[in-house]
Structure 1
């Protein structure tokens, strides 16, 4: 049996109006999820409005969490709360949480993210862990890209499990720019990551773990990217707010 494809829609800090949520939910509900796992990452303010609105098996995955649970943690979201609401997935490590694009927010280290992941798994949820490299690293070639990604993967070595963790590879230089990695670049990078996992975790883990592509995926480039042997789906940003998202899903199902 091959790896089951998985596609996520990251709404980031969108939309501005709650009146648009019904349309976005309807778009997801129109997707055929029979051959593909689907999750949606609404903005934190909107999670509570849509978490139980999906009728086709699509799951809500909050965009972040803390690692202490409920208590005096102002501004945080606890996995305990997510579990109580019936959620099964949580996204962590997105480049926009790691200080990319010059956002004046604290950078989340891979060590911190591994702590968050352990907490997610301990509570019975699953984790989507985003990794990736900026343009100056990409320009140095695949060896530099792999080394950069390995730094982000190393704290996760002991908790990488195909049953509970999905990797989302983000070429940071392509997010929101409209520039997409070529299918050859995506396949080369995914294959290199999988090879490292095989050699440093286990061949079984490497064979089973799903690696999504997350750099400006859209309806136009999804078919070619989905044909890559080591691309197991997409983490879609802006395109997930458009009707074409159902095309992105079908391309990998």
Structure 2
């Protein structure tokens, strides 16, 4: 089976490609570097020829409100049109748990727009809503930094390792279209502020995490349900300690 992975050289994409190749499939890691650009349309018709499944795990290079909306709308339209022309049988997109609850954030408004394009495309599809990745904890800390302190909500979060995300993406890709959404999450539910404090302690970052119920998450307010999955999500196997223990040594 020919499977095209848009964003196939990124964090999730590269792991997904490796796993699919291990199952013996023909897998194309598509990115601008390989001559496939979903914004300009370059290379889309060629890479889609004969494809059975397309997995979109690409992300916007900018999180600025207008730029991220333009990215996901333009990329989505071009990609879905090329798939329709090629007769692709299954479109898979990676999105975020809580997207519909985070609409005060420009990034999540753009992800919702991407999902709407998929749902209205007429193509068989599966949308995977993932909780936040452990790999982005440093970025979360940076986004919430004020002087020497990190201000974060104590809202619960159920973070997941990128290896577990890729495993879930592969399972969905090798199954039939859901024409709906599945949620994936990590094995441990913890306060966002406590989790980032644990991460900073492990990387010997001396900054203090201040738990603040009014702190926003990439521009959106949080409550006790915003960042956690609903009933019966797929649960990953890797907890924070196992994930951290397998990270490259820091200088």
Same fold (TM over 0.5): no
TM-score when normalising by structure 1: 0.38
The structure richer in strand per residue is 2
Q: Which structure is richer in relative contact order (CA contacts within 8 A, separation 6 or more)?
A: 1
Larger Rg: 2
TM-score when normalising by structure 2: 0.38
